[in-house]
């Protein structure tokens, strides 16, 4: 196994993994492979994407897991040593590959990438019901941030707040 930044050459195997990820978060719902592939190529793997996808790849070329990351600057920390940090949007390992070191390899790669890019911390959300994931993160030495919660604003309240018609397509 090795870890690398994702490229279009891995998009078929990555599409499979993203379909599994979708089912994980959406109670077994099936996503269209074509829609997932299109999203990967036009958005997530696009040159201007603010996120980078990192993949763990098996010796057979199959994508075993992924991490989605971005580098951001703090709005409240001004010390040059602490103002830049890495935001981990997602860490997902194929269900058949869990507990085989894939997640740890991905996190080690992300930690090195963050460190090499001047970051001294990595932040990420975790699903409240993901006890196995939380135990994994704590085994790496991560500390739970107890004073933070996550909020989401979506339709129809989003369009109500910005004054747009609820049926208006995004630009």
Strands 122-123 and 84-93: parallel
pLDDT at 171 over 70: no
Q: Would you list the domain boundaries of the chain?
A: 2-162
> In the CATH hierarchy, which top-level class contains the domain 2-162?
alpha beta
pLDDT band at 167 (very low <50, low <70, confident <90, very high): low
Report CA-CA distances (Å) from 3 to 63, 79, 101, 112, 166: 9, 31, 12, 12, 42
Backbone φ and ψ for 4, nearest 5 degrees, come out as -155, 165
Q: Which of 3-7, 71-75, 100-104 has the highest mean pLDDT?
A: 100-104
Q: What is the pLDDT of residue 76?
A: 85
Pick the closest to residue 4 from 47, 54, 46 (CA basis).
54
pLDDT in tens, 42-95: 999 999 999 999 999 999 999 999 999 999 998 888 888 888 999 999 999 999
Instruction: Give the per-residue pLDDT at 27.
Output: 87
**63 and 56 Cβ atoms separated by less than 8 Å:** yes
Length of the chain: 171
For residues 1 and 56, the answer to whether their CB atoms sit within 8 Å is yes
> What pLDDT is stored for residue 116 in this prediction?
95
pTM here? 0.88
pLDDT over 70 at 170, yes or no:
no
User: What is the rounded average pLDDT of the residues 120-146?
Assistant: 93
């Amino acid at each position: 196994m090795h870890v690398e930044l994702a490229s279009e050459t891995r998009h078929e195997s990555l599409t499979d993994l993203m379909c599994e990820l979708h089912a994980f978060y959406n109670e077994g719902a099936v996503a269209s492979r074509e829609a997932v592939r299109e999203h990967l190529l036009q958005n997530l793997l696009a040159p201007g994407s603010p996120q980078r996808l990192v993949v763990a790849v098996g010796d057979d070329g199959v994508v075993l897991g992924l991490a989605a990351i971005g580098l951001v600057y703090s709005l409240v920390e001004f010390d040059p040593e602490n103002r830049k940090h890495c935001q981990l949007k997602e860490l997902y390992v194929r269900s058949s590959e869990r507990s085989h070191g894939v997640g740890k390899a991905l996190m080690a790669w992300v930690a090195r990438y963050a460190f090499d890019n001047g970051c001294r911390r990595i932040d990420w959300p975790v699903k409240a019901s993901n006890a196995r994931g939380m135990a994994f993160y704590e085994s790496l030495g991560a500390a739970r941030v107890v004073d933070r919660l996550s909020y989401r604003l979506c339709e129809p309240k989003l369009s109500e707040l910005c004054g747009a018609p609820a049926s208006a397509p995004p630009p």
